């Protein structure tokens, strides 16, 4: 068993291969994809064909590799160093769809996964998860999308917004209201080509532009009885469990962005001269680099410590996933801002990746639970307060 901050040989080999592939194939077009808000489906497929990253935590019977959550986190961190948008599409398919679908059936003690769900997992098609609505983001229990039972399944009505892979994904896990209590939510597996399911693009985003984000509208959309994932009215449990995994994925994005910014800064300040000396010799630049490195090191240690504790099933893992996302998102924003500062006009331009990475980093304090929502969760859990 690895000690908390050690990786085994499989983790190390995985990191090496994803890092190498990302530098060679993901980095070169990242600025263009950002500029054109373009998701590259062909490149995305290579995450599976070249790296075997899809269904990585699932057993071989579902086309997976049977690895642990650390493998997903390592992959997301490495991809995020080059193209956080592409990493976010992967996070959505891998953690929010495949991992959530498989582990909901496995963990809830609710019987066998319908054969159709297994077939869909084996396809490894682009997929996502739809929880947020135009009038319900942080207030997730305020969602209005409803699934009403009919004679042979359910009828979905409602709108989901800001859904990653929303316009181009083939399958979605959709949360919908199935009862009258605020917590009567259920989870459904919905194919994008169902009648009554219409998709459109969201407003243009500030960052994460190489990933598509969509609006999903359901108008009397009929889904079969076996679209239900887990138990009726009991979608909150898998939702909370998956949010903890999602938060570690988003923290991994922060760590990938921060590590890249530190390395760009380190190289730049040694080459750039002012007043006849490399700017690395100026105390204020040294202060910036040292603070950023220290923060990056803390982020990385915190991330993997929480990942191991989650794998081990530690009781504080979910609390610490919230704390890790909160800390890492904030640090990534600060470090990428410092990198812009250390590079001067070059940092503010598209000549270097740091301004793009900074725009991408801002999302990490919003998606998967805002900073404010996480602060409330953490303080509630620590103080047992109800507010």
Ligand X SMILES: Cc1cc2nc3c(=O)[nH]c(=O)nc-3n(C[C@H](O)[C@H](O)[C@H](O)COP(=O)(O)OP(=O)(O)OC[C@H]3O[C@@H](n4cnc5c(N)ncnc54)[C@H](O)[C@@H]3O)c2cc1C
Secondary structure of residue 121 in the 3-state scheme: helix
Tokens standing for 23?
A: 């530098």
Angle at 8 between CA 24 and CA 76, to 5 degrees: 40
292-331: contacts with ligand X (CB under 6 A): none
In the set 169, 235, 353, 367, which binds ligand X (CB under 6 A)? 367
How far apart (Å, rounded) are the C-alpha atoms in residues 280 and 271?
8
72-111: contacts with ligand X (CB under 6 A): 92
How far apart (Å, rounded) are the C-alpha atoms in residues 69 and 259?
20
Q: Least CB distance from residue 302 to ligand X, whole Å?
A: 22
Considering only 7-15, 76-84, 132-140, 328-336, which stretch makes contact with ligand X by CB under 6 A?
132-140
Look at residues 39, 53, 129, 127 and name the one whose alpha carbon lies nearest to residue 86. Answer: 39
How far apart (Å, rounded) are the C-alpha atoms in residues 310 and 379?
20
Q: Least CB distance from residue 145 to ligand X, whole Å?
A: 11
Q: Does 368 bind ligand X (CB under 6 A)?
A: yes
Tokens standing for 195?
A: 């009648």
Q: Least CB distance from residue 54 to ligand X, whole Å?
A: 17
Q: Least CB distance from residue 215 to ligand X, whole Å?
A: 11
Q: Does 365 bind ligand X (CB under 6 A)?
A: no
Considering only 122-130, 292-300, 312-320, 329-337, which stretch makes contact with ligand X by CB under 6 A?
122-130
**Catalytic residue annotation:** 246
Pick the closer one to ligand X by CB: 130 or 343. 130
Pick the closer one to ligand X by CB: 129 or 307. 129
In the set 64, 84, 137, 214, which binds ligand X (CB under 6 A)? 137
Q: Least CB distance from residue 372 to ligand X, whole Å?
A: 3
Q: Least CB distance from residue 175 to ligand X, whole Å?
A: 8
Tokens standing for 366?
A: 């919003």
Pick the closer one to ligand X by CB: 151 or 385. 385
Q: Least CB distance from residue 90 to ligand X, whole Å?
A: 12
């530098």: which residue's tokens? 23
Q: Does 366 bind ligand X (CB under 6 A)?
A: yes
Pick the closer one to ligand X by CB: 250 or 265. 250
């982020």: which residue's tokens? 299
How many residues bind ligand X (CB under 6 A)? The answer is 22
In the set 49, 201, 372, 380, which binds ligand X (CB under 6 A)? 372
147-166: contacts with ligand X (CB under 6 A): 162-164
């953690």: which residue's tokens? 95
Decide: 142 and 184 in contact? Cβ < 8 Å: no
Tokens standing for 340?
A: 């812009």
Which segments of 81-220 does DSSP mark as H helices, in order?
Answer: 84-91, 100-107, 115-123
CB count in 10 Å sphere of residue 334: 17
How far apart (Å, rounded) are the C-alpha atoms in residues 369 and 169?
22
In the set 33, 105, 124, 128, which binds ligand X (CB under 6 A)? 128
Q: Least CB distance from residue 15 to ligand X, whole Å?
A: 25
Q: What is the DSSP string of 284-304?
A: HHHHHHHHHHHHHHHHHHHHH
In the set 216, 264, 310, 363, which binds ligand X (CB under 6 A)? 363
Considering only 64-72, 220-228, 265-273, 372-380, which stretch makes contact with ligand X by CB under 6 A?
372-380
CB count in 10 Å sphere of residue 283: 7
Tell me the β-bridge partners of 176.
Answer: 186
185-224: contacts with ligand X (CB under 6 A): 205, 208, 213
251-280: contacts with ligand X (CB under 6 A): none
Q: Does 130 bind ligand X (CB under 6 A)?
A: yes
How far apart (Å, rounded) are the C-alpha atoms in residues 312 and 314?
6
How far apart (Å, rounded) are the C-alpha atoms in residues 271 and 10?
36
In the set 65, 263, 346, 370, which binds ligand X (CB under 6 A)? 370
Secondary structure of residue 134 in the 3-state scheme: coil
Secondary structure of residue 328 in the 3-state scheme: helix
Contact positions toward ligand X, by CB under 6 A?
Answer: 92, 128-132, 137-138, 162-164, 205, 208, 213, 363, 366-368, 370, 372-373, 376
């Amino acid at each position: 068993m690895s000690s908390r901050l050690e990786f085994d040989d499989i983790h190390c080999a995985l990191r090496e291969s994803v890092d190498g592939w990302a530098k060679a194939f993901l980095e070169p077009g990242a600025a263009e994809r950002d500029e054109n808000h373009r998701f590259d489906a062909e490149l995305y497929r290579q995450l599976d064909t070249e790296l075997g990253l899809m269904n990585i935590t699932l057993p071989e019977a579902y086309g997976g590799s049977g690895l642990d959550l650390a493998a997903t986190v390592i992959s997301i961190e490495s991809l995020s160093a080059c193209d956080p948008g592409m990493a976010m599409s992967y996070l959505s398919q891998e953690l929010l769809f495949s991992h959530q679908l498989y582990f909901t059936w496995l963990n809830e003690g609710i019987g066998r996964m319908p054969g159709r769900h297994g077939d869909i997992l084996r396809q490894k098609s682009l997929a996502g998860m739809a929880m947020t609505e135009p009038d319900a983001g942080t207030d997730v229990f305020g969602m209005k999308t409803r699934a009403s039972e009919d004679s042979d399944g359910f009828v979905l009505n409602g709108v989901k917004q800001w859904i990653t892979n929303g316009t181009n994904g083939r399958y979605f896990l959709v949360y919908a209201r199935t009862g009258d209590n605020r917590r009567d939510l259920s989870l459904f597996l919905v194919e994008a080509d169902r009648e009554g399911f219409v998709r459109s693009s969201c407003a243009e985003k500030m960052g994460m532009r190489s990933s598509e984000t969509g609006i999903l509208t359901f108008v009397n959309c009929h889904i079969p009885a076996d679209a239900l994932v887990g138990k009726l009215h009991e979608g909150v449990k898998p939702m909370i469990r998956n949010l903890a995994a999602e938060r570690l994925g988003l923290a991994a994005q922060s760590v990938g962005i921060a590590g890249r910014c530190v390395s760009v800064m380190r190289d730049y300040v040694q080459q750039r001269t002012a007043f006849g000396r490399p700017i690395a010799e100026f105390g204020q630049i040294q202060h910036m680099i040292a603070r950023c490195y220290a923060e990056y090191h803390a982020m990385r240690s915190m991330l993997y410590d929480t990942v191991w504790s989650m794998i081990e099933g530690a009781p504080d893992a979910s609390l610490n996933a919230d704390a890790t996302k909160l800390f890492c998102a904030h640090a990534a924003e600060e470090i990428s801002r410092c990198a812009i500062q250390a590079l001067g006009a070059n940092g503010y331009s598209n000549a270097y990746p740091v301004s793009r990475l900074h725009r991408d980093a801002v999302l990490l304090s919003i998606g998967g639970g805002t900073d404010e929502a996480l602060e409330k969760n953490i303080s509630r859990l620590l103080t047992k307060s109800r507010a």
